[in-house]
Every structure is written in C-alpha cells, then in structure tokens.
Amino acid sequence: MNRGRRHFMTTTALTAAPLAAAAAASATAPVQALPAVRARRLQPGDTVALVNPSSARHEREPYAIAIETLQALGFKVREAPNLRARYGHLAGTDAQRASDLNTLFADPGVHGLLAFKGGSGCNRILPLIDYGLVRRNPKFVGGYSDTTALLSALNAQTGLVTFHCPMGTSEWNDFSVQSFRGAVMQAQALTLANVPEREDALVPSGGRITTLHGGRAQGRLLGGNLSVLASLAGSPYWPAWDGAILFLEEVNEAIYRVDRMLSTLKLAGVLDRLAGVVLGAFTNCEPGEGYGSLTLDEVFDDHFQPLNVPVYAGAQFGHIKRKFTLPVGLEVEMDADKGTLRFLQPAVT
C-alpha cells in the first residue's frame, strides 16, 4: 500500500469514526414523547386529499371508487399532484410522494389527507417530510398497513394525533364508517368494542376477543402494522414507548416472521415498557413450509404473558373488512377483560 493511500484511509477512518459514534448515539438515545397535537375535526364540505405514499395502483376504477366514497362521506376531494404516478412498484419517486405531503400540508384549502392504498415504500420518504410545516398546520392524516410508517413518523416528530383507519381502497361498510365518523368527524370520546358476528350460528364465530392477561391500563395508543413498525426501530421516527398501549396487526407473514418481528420489539426494549397490548387481525399469517411451527397463540403467549400487563387479541382492526378508527398518540384506556378501548378525550378538536 502506498503512502498516499495509507494517508487517505487513515484520514477517512478518523473522520468517519466520530460520525458513526454520533449516529449510533442518536439511534439509541431515549425518545421523548411530544405533547399531543389534535387536528380540527373533519366536517361535511371540507376538502380531503387522496395521497399515495406507498405503492402504485394501475387500474382506473379504484380511484373512482375512492373519490366517490369520500364524496359520499360529505367531502370535497382533491387528488395529490402525483397520486397516479409510478416509479417501479412505487406511486412515484420518493421526492414526488414527499412533495405531495408537503404541498398538501401547506395548502390551507386542504383539511385532511387520506392514504389511497398501502403496499410498501412509505418509510423511504420519511426524511423528506417537512415536520415543521406539519407542526404548524396540523391536519387529519389517515390510513393503515404501510401507512403505519407515516402515522408513526408524524406523531413522533410533531405530536400530531394520526389515524389508523380505512384507506381510499378499503371497503367502507357501516361498521367502519360509524367508527370513522365518531372519531374524526363528530369528535366523540369513543369506546371501541367488537361487534360479534354470528349470522345463523348458535354462537358468534367472528368478532371474538381473547383475553391473554386481564386488567385495565391507560396510556398513549401507539402501533400499527407489525412489520412496518419493526422497520422503524432505531430511527428518528420510532415512538416513545414508555407507558404506551401497543396495538398491532399483520397480513401475509409466516408465523416465524411474526415471532422474529416481535423479538425485534423485545430486543429494542419496547415490550418491557408498555402499559398494555391490543392485538388486531393477523390475516393469513400461517406456519409456512418447513418441519413445523409455533402457533400464533403460542407466539403471543411467549412474548406477552411475561409482561404482566393487560393484553387481549381479536380487536377489529387490520386487514379485515370491518375496521375501527384508532387515534395514534391519543391517551386511551383499555380493558382486556371486556375487550374495549376508550378514548380519554376526543381525538380531534
């Protein structure tokens, strides 16, 4: 190795070491919860913008259905400038998708933002969002699945209460609409409780809750899609977990992967800091190929029973037709024996 190359590598190492140490310290530093910021309630006649922070959708009809749905709720509808853009599987480049969010938050004529669909890629745009702008212009933001990244980042960086709720491409049935209206439009301090689904059977087979550990607890409601949430670990968009109520849902993940993602939360120190846990639908989470698998029940027991905090499963949210609207960052009370979540104040003003 020549002298010039040795000097370059030594200089680079000396420069990089402090930067790496600073980055590591920043990633592991405790996150402080910001005071909750509640957006104004949405009202009939308000303008709600459809945005797409994740994957593209190529067919025309879902856009028409989403627009008609928001109109049926009483809103005027604005399409984000790049709503129908495409970059690979994504709904436009990272810059386009982040620009849509920043533009709509800056527009006083837009009163709320609803994600059109999920997929993947939302976490790519988080560093490009103008969080100061969001803090100065709090608005309703809703969605679920991959939108978990956006909901968590906005809450962690600004304190804005965001909403895990149906998206533009979701089925807006009566159950989902009533929950959405109560939380977002009527500013009710709701108590969310499953509606059992019996049809003509002797006992309900749907909408059931399972109590893993009884009791009641209060705390800020944080969570969303498990895999997306775990992908934020160690980032500036990771919530402050002390005393929180964690809610989780998932879809199309083998059980061993669910176990691994819950282990990530455990190793990151999240599970041991919680006041309680609410588990929603883990849709199509099956054992997969191999010699065998733990069941979901066993995985949940392994991770949550030792916490000695209230835990219940089966709450009606996630990749299912009938969905609660859940306020991310709001103080709530859970009752694991009754299977209920109660807002301790309205989620909007």
Point out the residues that are catalytic.
Answer: 145, 249, 319
Strand, coil or helix: 84: coil
Between CA 225 and CA 113, with CA 102 as vertex, the angle to 5 degrees is 55
48 forms beta bridges with 77, 112
CA distance 21 to 16: 9
- Sign of torsion over alpha carbons 104, 65, 349, 144: negative
User: What are residue 51's phi and psi, to 5 degrees?
Assistant: -125, 160
Per-residue exposure over 43-61, b if at least 16 CB sit within 10 Å of its own CB, e if not: eeebbbbbbbbbbbbeeee
Contact (CB, 8 A) for 315 and 279: yes
Single-letter amino acid code for the residue at 81: P
140 forms beta bridges with 112
CA distance 196 to 27: 43
- Sign of torsion over alpha carbons 53, 104, 225, 125: positive
Q: Kind of pairing, strands 47-51 and 112-115? A: parallel
Q: CA nearest 247: which of 224, 265, 273?
A: 224
Q: CA nearest 296: which of 311, 314, 316, 282?
A: 282
CA distance 157 to 134: 9
User: What are residue 308's phi and psi, to 5 degrees?
Assistant: 60, 40
> DSSP H helical segments within the chain, as ranges?
3-28, 61-72, 94-106, 131-136, 148-158, 174-180, 226-231, 255-267, 296-304
